[in-house]
Amino acid sequence: MFLRRPTKPTGIFATAIALLAVVAFPAAISAQGAPGSGGAGVRSGPAAGGVVGKVDSVSTSSFAVLTSAGQKVTIQEAPSTEYWKATNSIPSSSLTKGDSVLVLGVVNGPTITASQVIVQPVNGAGSATSSAAGVAPFQRGTPSAAKQVGQIPANYRQGAGTIVSGTEANKATEAALAIYPGGIVDRVVELSEGEYEVHNIGVNWPHHIFVSHDFKVVGAF
């Protein structure tokens, strides 16, 4: 929605507009990048997604993951949560602080109820060196980077598509986080042409990662 405003604001009125822009605009931008915020379209509730990072602490039924962009995520375990290292199933008790992990599950803001926890090699996704893809860590009050890379589906419209779960969501999430770690994927949307939009929160850029139907990252903004 666009607001009509005088063409030549002067004096006190101009000063008020300037102050409003300084206060309100950064707040609106930073809300996009905050964990639990929406961004594209309206979110109906918790959805399938995930995160990569390093285990920061471990307790009886949960653990915390710290992403390469500095976001801390609480991982809630369930009786059905599976733990893997490469292709081998491992007990949950083998998870230790400092492990690099990919967590897939149901995301609700900065909390994930895990369906799978995959321990990765030290130099895998979530390590300090894997954030070189240009991810901009979240900084409150800092506008998101206005850039686009790769290919964006021609008919893409924010808020369109169908939220998916299961294998589709897991594969799209894993593909997106392998290229753009640091944020939290809080939903995966299948678009009309079969591509996926992976919605990324907790960073200033990118918020939208596009994955092809064969689960390869093709673009982001």
Q: What is the pLDDT of residue 25?
A: 27
Taking all residues of the chain, what is their mean pLDDT, rounded to a whole number? 80
Which pLDDT tens digit goes with each residue over 68-82? 999 999 999 999 999
Place 134 in a pLDDT band, splitting at 50, 70 and 90.
Answer: confident
Mean pLDDT along residues 6-27: 36
pTM, entire model: 0.78
Which pLDDT tens digit goes with each residue over 151-160? 999 889 988 8
Place 118 in a pLDDT band, splitting at 50, 70 and 90.
Answer: very high
For every residue of 56-119, DSSP letters joined together read EEE-SSEEEEE-TTS-EEEEE--TT-EEEETTEE--GGG--TT-EEEEEEEEETTEEEEEEEEE
d(CA 183, CA 69): 7
Which pLDDT tens digit goes with each residue over 23-65? 332 333 233 334 433 333 445 589 999 999 999 999 999 999 9
Place 123 in a pLDDT band, splitting at 50, 70 and 90.
Answer: low
pLDDT(212) > 90: yes
Say whether domain 48-120 belongs to CATH 3.40.50.10800. Answer: no
Q: What is the pLDDT of residue 44?
A: 59
DSSP code for 143: P
H/E element, 33: helix 11-33
Q: What is the pLDDT of residue 10?
A: 41
Mean pLDDT along residues 132-144: 79
Q: Domain extents for the chain?
A: 48-120, 135-220
d(CA 54, CA 123): 11
Q: Cis before residue 6, ω within 30 degrees of 0?
A: no
d(CA 124, CA 22): 40
Listed residue (163, 155, 211, 207) closest to 187, CA to CA: 163
pLDDT(116) > 90: yes
Place 140 in a pLDDT band, splitting at 50, 70 and 90.
Answer: confident
Listed residue (141, 99, 138) closest to 122, CA to CA: 99
pLDDT(132) > 80: no
What percent of the chain is predicted at pLDDT more than 70?
A: 75
pLDDT(1) > 70: no
| Nearest-10 Cα torsion for 48, 53, 56, 61 | 30
The residues with which 51 forms a beta bridge, in sequence order, are: 103
Which pLDDT tens digit goes with each residue over 83-106? 999 899 999 999 999 999 999 999
At 12, give phi and psi (nearest 5°).
-60, -40
